[in-house]
Structure 1
């Protein structure tokens, strides 16, 4: 079945070094029924000239100027001018494998409305540079989550729908609010809105996006992507989507992130029980709660647990312990680290 027109939404700012390779990878797509809305976000380098030159080569490339300022307004501009029934996003410093649009659109056609096609990603870096082990670990985790379709089950750990590795129908995107909310990190916010709207992931167990790591990547340099911004997004989304005020709420973990979550709950006047593995803290109070030993969990009926333990081995052990008590991640337990 032939897919409808696919609109590729892309913001670009001062990426003259990477933009030509990005555009060439789009032109090399095996699926040819697409349009690229490439929005220049007030670049001061040769980005506008590069876009115009490529547009002369291929009219499917449509350069635009940002009607506002910043990434989200640029994506908003791209969406406003798009015409496709299917939508996806692209970053101007990344690359598309040749079959990206074909694989995602075919999966979306098979899955039907109210689905999001999501594929695998891979990091790469510029010649002569070395990709850090953290990125490799993150890639392996992300791809395993997608393969096993645990996208929503593990959504509170990290953004589980990569920013440029998804495709959905226009009407579903509009129903989720499109790019109207000015909330960063914008890809994580959109992931939560897909979840809240009930759009079902349709995994594509094949590589669909190549993420370039470099020193100027905005996730490295912009304050909107600092670690605390992800945590500050998780808790409000949990309270809106999964929190049941009729059940006891448990916070497990007394580290830096646990204390930040506790402070946020206290500020919202939300009662919670605070558990930790540190005997020296038991019986002491902070942010309106008294630290309790892990055994306190057995006294609670149908608890909801926010797990804030960053160390991977300890987190996995705790998840196994919760599972033995019939408390499942994504149902009764929500891992925030």
Structure 2
């Protein structure tokens, strides 16, 4: 079983000088039972030529030109061309620590089917690393160390897109890359959650995540609104919403208003609370802002928290704990 072939899916677009180090880090893996299926997504630099050069030198590497522009079509094509029992992803500007594939494989195969293996990540940059990336690294590694990924799924994507491995049949069972929804990694994570898959994490750094000005998460239109609120709400109503329970939106800022508009458009009734007395009694979308303490009078409410201010979140969490609630943290 441990000789199972790993298929590494690698979408490539204008990777420039980052591509060769990425490929070299794959070639340096201690695990040797792998194939690399790279798809060039209409690059205008030398990425295609680099891929062809590496493919000519190692038969485990195959490269294909994409047939339809986009990351999701590239992933689909790579998956269609893959042959492995185990599937993982890689980004064209990142690096693999030498034991990454070996540790992910062991973590996965030591557990039962229905699980996804991951590990810790480390951001790096040729320039100064942004504080937001440092916070995300700390947050996602905390989830891995505590095996609590899905507890925070509505906050941000809790599974690093280039640092997971799963059995082919498990990926197929959640629709693989059939969905057209971006961000594709977050959508896949929600589908894993929806289908009851488990995430198991090794406690080693298994991915070196490069930050640079041209990363897709910084420049590609699908990632422009990094709140991904509609995606979160869509899956909340598919997976966790219980219509017999009172639904509460907590937050009077931009995100709270956007969520209220979403619910209003769909005819979903809700309470709207905040901690700003100047808002209480005012209305929008047919709902009236109320004192957050109304929560204590509601029976078993489902509370969606849309307050991003770091100093306010602990206060909200403390109050919810006092009344025996947890809430769904959307930011």
With structure 2 as the length reference, what TM-score do the two structures score? 0.98
Deviation at 1:317, TM superposition (A): 2.1
Deviation at 1:313, TM superposition (A): 2.6
Match of residue 73 from structure 1: 73
Query: Which residue among 185, 188, 191 is the counterpart of 1:187?
Result: 185
Asked if structure 2 preserves the Cα contact closer than 8 Å seen for 1:185 and 1:229, the reply is: no
Q: Distance in 2 between matches of 1:155 and 1:246?
A: 23
Match of residue 336 from structure 1: 330
Q: How does 1:1-337 map to 2 (within 5 A)?
A: 2-126=2-126, 129-227=127-225, 230-328=228-326, 333-337=327-331
Deviation at 1:322, TM superposition (A): 1.0
Deviation at 1:134, TM superposition (A): 1.7
Deviations 1:111-133 (A, max 9, x none): 1200000111111112xx11112
Which residues of structure 2 form unaligned runs of 5+? none
Q: Distance in 2 between matches of 1:30 and 1:260?
A: 48
Deviation at 1:320, TM superposition (A): 2.3
Deviations 1:58-108 (A, max 9, x none): 111111111211100000000000010110000001111111101111010
Deviation at 1:166, TM superposition (A): 0.7
Instruction: Point out 4+ residue stretches in structure 1 off by more than 4 angstroms.
Output: none
Q: Distance in 2 between matches of 1:272 and 1:255?
A: 16
SS at match of 1:283: coil
Q: Distance in 2 between matches of 1:104 and 1:325?
A: 41
Cα 1:168–1:54, aligned 2, differ >3 Å: closer, same or farther?
same
Q: Distance in 2 between matches of 1:251 and 1:303?
A: 10
Q: Distance in 2 between matches of 1:116 and 1:131?
A: 29
Q: Distance in 2 between matches of 1:288 and 1:194?
A: 35
SS at match of 1:153: helix
Asked if structure 2 preserves the Cα contact closer than 8 Å seen for 1:16 and 1:50, the reply is: no
Which residues of structure 1 form unaligned runs of 5+? none
Q: Distance in 1 between matches of 2:322 and 2:103?
A: 39
Deviation at 1:3, TM superposition (A): 4.2
Q: Distance in 1 between matches of 2:224 and 2:287?
A: 27
Asked if structure 2 preserves the Cα contact closer than 8 Å seen for 1:184 and 1:229, the reply is: no
Number of aligned residue pairs: 331
Q: Distance in 1 between matches of 2:265 and 2:17?
A: 46
With structure 1 as the length reference, what TM-score do the two structures score? 0.96
Cα 1:302–1:279, aligned 2, differ >3 Å: closer, same or farther?
same
Q: Distance in 2 between matches of 1:286 and 1:103?
A: 52
Asked if structure 2 preserves the Cα contact closer than 8 Å seen for 1:163 and 1:187, the reply is: yes
